[in-house]
A and B are shown apart, each in its own frame.
Chain A
Amino acid sequence: MRIAIASGKGGTGKTTVSAALASVWTEAVSRPVLAADLDVEEPNLHLFLRPVITEAHVANLEIPVIDAAACTRCGACREICQFGAVTILGDTPLVFDDMCHGCGACLAVCPVAAMSPGAREVGRVEEGAAGSIAFVNGRLRVGEAMSPVLIRAVTARVNGKLAALPESERPDVLLDAPPGVSCPAQNAVATADVIVLVVEPTPFGIHDFALAVEAFAPLGKPLTVVVNKAGEASPELDALCRRENLPVLAAIPDDRAIAEGYARGRLLPEMSPACRALCLDLARQLAALRPEARHA
């Protein structure tokens, strides 16, 4: 099964929950696990799982290269490009590499085949393992604007790893999603069987959580909640979860000792026996939502 750990707001504890689940998953549900960090702008999962990276691949975007000698300056490429990435300055056809979305429209419409595919590096896909936890992440090149390209490359790598294994050996996948409800987050959760929304019960947290519920509920997947930094009761959050029928599977207490442990890179299950029990219980509740169990 695939579980996406998402949140409407950054900093609510997505990575804390992802890392905690990955570290206890096999013990809790006796199944192998693969942890994938899809937050390619700010990948943080590796800081807590500390995997040994054994492979890294450059992820490229296919961008056009113009053969000025073959180009007739007809302007078809400039006309089709919706992103202002192709132009003709004076007599010189030009591609602004950074503006290109790699859609290939210009290559397809050039009547004299004066354009050929080149490449722009968007980032790297890294893979390895943290003990028995398989690990994949993406690191966006600093200065690169188009994170969805790299997220697709990371997702493809995860799919490739799973496809290479016989069905009985395929691990459960935990996806640490990008924050928010924009395209990258939407695409990350779209592939999951179950979504976990991590929320902190502050006004900002609840506001962004409501946006995330609005964005993800239409996907028709089981939507579950983990409250992080749970302190005083939050009637507003409780009412929202009741109204939308969202089960709260766990509440991580608002505790300075946990915040300090996190600041030192410690995993939640290692912080106290109570935290450990909470993580094991959360893993078991999520495993019970696997599609085959639901339809049984």
Chain B
Amino acid sequence: MREIVVLSGKGGAGKTSITAAFAALARNAIVCDLDVDAPDLHILLSPKDTAAEEFVSGNLAQVEASDCDGCGVCREICRFEAVSVGEDGKAVIDPHRCEGCKACVALCPRRAIAFPPRVCGYFAVSASRFGPFVHARLDPGGENSGRLVALLKRRARELAEKAGHELIVCDGAPGIACPVISALSGASLAVLVVEPTPSGTHDFARVAKLCDHFKLPTGVIVNKADLNPEETARLEALCRQAGRPVLGRLPYSPDVTRAMKAKVTLPEYGGPLAGDIARLWEATNALAQTCAKAK
């Protein structure tokens, strides 16, 4: 079983368009959108027959106003600045700031704080024209995105085992923190999409370092390579020095947005990019096979 996660560190580098193209080219793959904060892959995959479930994770502290005497212990103990004092002098907990740590619940002298389970979003399995599609959505201000990502990956692997899929292709989240660390775990290969801009180069270095930290093999795609050819050459040289395989380049092209507007993937849209992306997929799949064998 091979699991490919597409990452970039930076938003807007082209992760989702590339993941969708790979999904179209890979036969018999499970497709997974791990960007649970702002999922976009469904826009290109038009999922059907969606079976969604609530995502319940952790708990939320809630003050029972009738029992609260405004003693202030909870406000003192809370390290997340989640407790304020309401107009009636009683404690109020901001659900966006509460991390569900239970400290206030345990220490409230009047036992006035309830701790109900928290619904943070939903996760779903759908059918798409490229195979099963696993996706989710975290509620705005939601917590535990890392846990939701882990749940999606587990679901994708179960599906793959059950239905005999050899490959899972995942669209990762931007950044380098909790959801990204979750997305990396257990993958065979991280495909790092980088654009040759100051932000792109900087963020790529950080996400590459994160992959190295977790000893995950990487392959690099330079997107919008012709925006800054010198920087592209410099990036590719740096990768070669570090022994990081360069999978290839894609040019800056309005076709990416045009395909998106037509709600199709690049291979389906055609044009010059279709050939580029097909070559990138060949290289990526071959590298993932090598990495999966080496595991």
Residues of A within 8 A of B (CB): 8-12, 15, 41-42, 44, 47-48, 62, 80, 82-83, 101-105, 108-109, 140, 142-147, 152, 178-183, 186-187, 190, 200, 202-204, 207-208, 211, 214-215, 256, 259-260, 262-265
Report how far A144 CA is from B181 CA in the complex, Å. 9
Query: Which of the 9-residue segments B23-31, B85-93, B127-135, B256-264 touches chain A?
Result: B256-264
Cβ-defined partner of B199 (8 Å) among A42, A103, A207: A42
**Could you jot down 27 A-B contacts, CB within 8 Å?**
A9-B11, A9-B38, A12-B11, A15-B199, A41-B174, A41-B206, A44-B198, A80-B106, A103-B80, A103-B103, A104-B79, A105-B77, A142-B206, A142-B209, A143-B181, A145-B181, A147-B175, A179-B11, A180-B174, A182-B141, A183-B96, A183-B97, A186-B96, A204-B43, A259-B252, A263-B197, A263-B231
Query: Measured between C-beta atoms, what is the minimum distance from A32 to chain B in Å?
Result: 26
Give the residues in chain A near B96, CB-CB below 8 Å: 183, 186-187, 190
Query: Which of the 9-residue segments B142-150, B239-247, B270-278, B279-287 touches chain A?
Result: B142-150
Q: Does B237 contact A (CB under 8 A)?
A: no
Q: Which of B13, B79, B140 has the most CB of A within 10 A?
A: B140
Report how far A181 CA is from B141 CA in the complex, Å. 6
Give the residues in chain A near B206, CB-CB below 8 Å: 41-42, 142
Give the residues in chain B near A143, CB-CB below 8 Å: 181, 210, 213-214
Interface residues of chain B: helix, strand, loop or mixed (majority): loop
Cβ-defined partner of A41 (8 Å) among B101, B141, B176, B213: B176
| Contact assessment for A140 and B177 in the assembled complex, using a CB-CB cutoff below 8 Å | yes
Report how far A11 CA is from B175 CA in the complex, Å. 11
Give the residues in chain A near B210, CB-CB below 8 Å: 142-143
Residues of B within 8 A of A (CB): 9-13, 16, 37-38, 40, 43, 58-59, 77, 79-81, 96-97, 99-103, 106-107, 138, 140-143, 145-146, 174-178, 181, 195-199, 202-203, 206, 209-210, 213-214, 224, 227-228, 231, 252, 257, 260-261, 263
Report how far A48 CA is from B253 CA in the complex, Å. 24
Query: Measured between C-beta atoms, what is the minimum distance from B180 to chain A in Å?
Result: 8
Report how far A263 CA is from B194 CA in the complex, Å. 12
The 6 closest A-B CB pairs, nearest first, are A10-B11, A11-B12, A215-B140, A103-B101, A105-B103, A41-B175
